[in-house]
Chains A and B, each alone.
Chain A
Amino acid sequence: MSNTSAGQGALLGDAVSPRGKLRPRSSAASKRWQTVVVTGLVFCALVSVFTTIGIILMLVVESWGFFSDDKIEIWKFLTGTKWTVGQTQGELSYGIWPLLSGTLRITGIAMMLALPMGLVSAIYLSEYASKRTRSLLKPTLEILAGIPTVVLGFFAVKFITPYMLEPLGDFKTFNATSAGIAVGILCIPLVASLAEDALRAVPNRLREGAYGLGANRLEVTLKVVVPAALSGIISAFLLALARAIGETMVVALAAGSTPTLTLDPRMPSQTMTGFIVETFKSESVVPGTLSYFSIYAVAAVLFLSTFGITLVGQIIRMRYREVYD
């Protein structure tokens, strides 16, 4: 690792001047030194590879600890409609569906908010906004994107629920809607920024061509620019979806800790991430117990869904990208 610290030294050293401080060295020595450095860099790159391997290995091994338990059948885990793991009394049920449906409900609400709003903001920023509006809107979105999720969770449970939702109807203190709205808020900047990048990557020739045919701005945007940037927009949507599924602190604060299998958005709805946090919060996780292993089984489902979605998003972006140059 000494090589990386050498790299770091150069990095922190003369920050602006391209005049480095090269010691005179024979070319053979320079080549040897380069080999050492490259080896160090490969080790750096290996850290991220091992992180992935570590995640997958851990999820497989420890989930095996869950499924190899005599009380657990994998079929019931995948199809069951009741989840009572971690509860001290009552019969043990371990169907993932209440948690999965909780995640889907909240993600659904969040996407209904974030996708249209994010896309419209992106269109506005890329096609309509004047330089001045842009210089106001863009930093706002960046600040919104930087707000820690635990803050948004606090906002959801202390403000969205009591002041926005409770006047509207019979919402429970912890409910899917307020969590969904807060998750949506944190996805808007993500969609807006990624979709805007995609829209801006569309070359001006296309726009000018359409204008030349007599189209107005709306027609140019909706019939030329958006279709041309579609792969980028869809991959932005998918990344937002993955982000919403994996969102933890908002749902842990605002969605409650009751796993429910319902379509009613006013009810509490524990998600997969919510269950994991609830288990950690109680500090009763002892390695080797069923509720410890169940964390890994749930996390495996969570990881598979987000990893799959991110991968599809990447493939879409790479394969269906329209290249104009």
Chain B
Amino acid sequence: MKDSVAQPRKHRSVARRKLFNNSFSVICLLVSSLAIVVLATLLVAIFSTGGNWLSFEMLSGSHRENNPEGSGIGQAILGSLVICSICGLVALPIGVGTAIFLEEFKPKGRLLRIFHGLVQLNINNLAGVPSIVYGILGLTAFVYMFGAFSPIRVNDQPDHEIGATYFYQTKTLGGQYVRFPAVPLIQPVIKIKQGRNASKINGDKFKLNVVSASTEKSKYANQVNETVLLGTEAKLSSRNGNQVYEAKTIGGEPFNFPAEATYSQFAKIIEPITVSNSDGDTFSLNVLSKSEPIPTDPTILAQSVFADSPDPNKRSSASIFRENSLFHLHLPFSKSVLSAALTLALVILPIVIIASQEAIRGVPQTLREAAFGMGATRWQVVRSAVLPSATPGIMTGAILAMSRAIGEAAPLLAVMGGVLGTTNHLSSLMDKTPVLPVTIFKWAGDENQGFEHLAAAAIIVLLAFLLLMNSLAIFIRYRYEKKLS
């Protein structure tokens, strides 16, 4: 078509030119309406697949393996909302701050101007980075923290953590669970699980290297005397009056490092101690020796344990448990809600910045000049003249960015893995949780046909959230922009 008009010198009848013009406008209309057709098809397809599967049980339940009828998205909805809220709390202030810096504080110095230009270019480029790359960044920077700390293992105490209380729990002869607080002790034997500074017998300091059994030998062939296998046992001993752990490297060279107090996995109960049960009652535990007869009174029985017995079935050793407070944190963050939220914040940051910049740019220059005329400093101008009138635009952009965040699956898949359901409730930022988009992804790929319908139902819920957020954005834009002008 373009060919026919690209040769201007050729004379063409008015009728033909008219024909081309009219047919092109019809083609335009048809092609443009295809977008409406596509959208309608998509919505009809999804509603017809999943509409019947929406129910209260489905909205509140959680994933069950091979049981689509009994599965639900309660946990996923909660997870998505929590992650998006934290993501917004992080991304919004930083994004708006960057936008203010870029728009209102254009520096005069040459070096600062270069920095300014670089930041602007950088943000435009960041907006084009695929979200999966952010996911990998989140995995490296938040989940593993560039390997700077020892990795978090299941049933293992992290090296750097706050907000967790440890206690030992055991079952009494009467079948009641009792617990007592755990105190960190210097263990006689520990397993080495992270690299650390250590010293050789002659006092030379070196950086201890830890490798797993599956690591190839060639990787540490030239440093066998500074490398140990993961889980190598180190024994407590005393050196120059200090308590140290001693072990040998793969090369057989002995070394030591300072001893720290840690929790042991199990505690032996030898003498009566004060414990509490699940109702919160505290009492002294009744410790029976092997020769003693077992009491018959159920109340006493419920408060009795055997002293450490050789019979493993009667052994009263208590094992360690952890209770996380809401502010439980550990380093690295590992695969957790916090890692996921921070990663999503990085994903939407460029969007927030660009939207806020546009909103700030839209504030009429007269407002600024009036404020400057009153003797305000630049920041006062921004705070009391620019920001208030840019707020509706910033909020609209922020909500649109959040609606991008709630639908993102790839970065969450990278950072939290394909979690479908968890046994315990979401209680701290260090927990894992299923989220809506990842749940849809996993269900859509499930071989059980029922999950296809469930995925469609979950999509309807996701789309409903998006609709809600977009209506809010439109409402804000409509309501406040009118007032301003």
Q: A147–B394 contact, CB under 8 A?
A: no
Q: B388–A153 contact, CB under 8 A?
A: no
| A88 part of interface (Cβ distance < 8 Å) | no
| Distance A155 CA – B460 CA, assembled complex (angstroms) | 13
Q: Which residue of A lies closest to B419 (CB)?
A: A283
- Contact partners of A248 in chain B: CB under 8 A: 130-132, 409-410
Q: B132–A288 contact, CB under 8 A?
A: no
| B46 part of interface (Cβ distance < 8 Å) | yes
Q: B483–A218 contact, CB under 8 A?
A: no
Residues 282-325 of chain A, each 1 if its beta carbon lies under 8 Å from chain B, else 0? 01000111000001100100110011011101100000000000
Q: A7–B93 contact, CB under 8 A?
A: yes
| Distance A149 CA – B33 CA, assembled complex (angstroms) | 21
| B119 part of interface (Cβ distance < 8 Å) | yes
| B284 part of interface (Cβ distance < 8 Å) | no
Q: Which residues of chain B in 320-369 are interfacial with respect to chain A, using CB atoms and an 8 Å cutoff?
A: 346, 349-350, 353, 367
| B85 part of interface (Cβ distance < 8 Å) | no
Q: B136–A276 contact, CB under 8 A?
A: yes
| Distance A129 CA – B31 CA, assembled complex (angstroms) | 12
Q: B410–A273 contact, CB under 8 A?
A: yes
Choose one: B126, B141, B463; the contact of A151 (CB below 8 Å). B463
Prevailing SS type, chain A contact patch: helix
Of the listed stretches B15-23, B175-183, B194-202, B421-429, chain A binds B15-23
| B417 part of interface (Cβ distance < 8 Å) | yes
Interchain nearest-CB distance for B191 vs A (Å): 18
> Given A11-B387, A62-B140, do A137 and B36 touch, yes or no (CB 8 Å)?
yes
- Contact partners of B93 in chain A: CB under 8 A: 1, 4-5, 7-8, 44
| B302 part of interface (Cβ distance < 8 Å) | no
| B237 part of interface (Cβ distance < 8 Å) | no
Q: Which residues of chain B in 111-130 are interfacial with respect to chain A, using CB atoms and an 8 Å cutoff?
A: 118-119, 121-130
Q: B444–A153 contact, CB under 8 A?
A: yes
- Contact partners of A159 in chain B: CB under 8 A: 41-42, 45
- Contact partners of B45 in chain A: CB under 8 A: 155, 158-159
Q: Which residue of A lies closest to B349 (CB)?
A: A48
> Given A148-B437, A151-B459, do A140 and B379 touch, yes or no (CB 8 Å)?
no
Choose one: A117, A150, A222, A243; the contact of B441 (CB below 8 Å). A150
Choose one: B128, B413, B480; the contact of A16 (CB below 8 Å). B480
| A169 part of interface (Cβ distance < 8 Å) | no
| Distance A309 CA – B130 CA, assembled complex (angstroms) | 12
Q: A154–B97 contact, CB under 8 A?
A: no
| B155 part of interface (Cβ distance < 8 Å) | no
| B5 part of interface (Cβ distance < 8 Å) | yes
Of the listed stretches A32-40, A76-84, A94-102, A199-207, chain B binds A32-40
| B92 part of interface (Cβ distance < 8 Å) | yes
- Contact partners of B147 in chain A: CB under 8 A: 287
> Given A48-B98, A128-B28, do A154 and B456 touch, yes or no (CB 8 Å)?
yes
User: Considering only CB atoms and an 8 Å cut-off, how many residues of chain A contact the other chain?
Assistant: 112
- Contact partners of B29 in chain A: CB under 8 A: 124, 128, 133
| B462 part of interface (Cβ distance < 8 Å) | yes
- Contact partners of A273 in chain B: CB under 8 A: 130, 132, 410
Q: Which residues of chain B in 441-474 are interfacial with respect to chain A, using CB atoms and an 8 Å cutoff?
A: 441-442, 444-445, 452, 455-456, 459, 462-463, 466, 470
Q: Which residue of A lies closest to B125 (CB)?
A: A310
Q: Which residues of chain A in 16-38 are interfacial with respect to chain B, using CB atoms and an 8 Å cutoff?
A: 16-22, 27, 30-31, 33-34, 37-38
Q: A4–B441 contact, CB under 8 A?
A: no
- Contact partners of B137 in chain A: CB under 8 A: 51, 54-55, 58
Centre residue among B101, B379, B417 by max chain A CB count within 10 A: B379
Residues 129-147 of chain B, each 1 if its beta carbon lies under 8 Å from chain A, else 0? 1111111110011001011
Q: B92–A314 contact, CB under 8 A?
A: no
| A195 part of interface (Cβ distance < 8 Å) | no
- Contact partners of B377 in chain A: CB under 8 A: 27, 30-31, 33-34
Q: A7–B387 contact, CB under 8 A?
A: yes
Knowing that A7-B93, A41-B100, A218-B24 touch, tell me 7 more A-B residue pairs with CB under 8 angstroms: A10-B384, A47-B349, A133-B29, A154-B46, A253-B441, A287-B151, A306-B129
- A interface list, Cβ under 8 A from B: 1, 3-5, 7-8, 10-22, 27, 30-31, 33-34, 37-38, 40-45, 47-49, 51-52, 54-55, 58, 62, 70, 116-117, 120-121, 123-125, 128-129, 133, 136-137, 140-141, 143-144, 146-155, 157-159, 185, 188-189, 192, 216-219, 222-223, 239, 242-243, 245-249, 252-253, 273, 276-277, 280-281, 283, 287-289, 295-296, 299, 302-303, 306-307, 309-311, 313-314
Give 3 closest A-B pairs by Cβ, nearest first: A20-B384, A246-B130, A148-B407
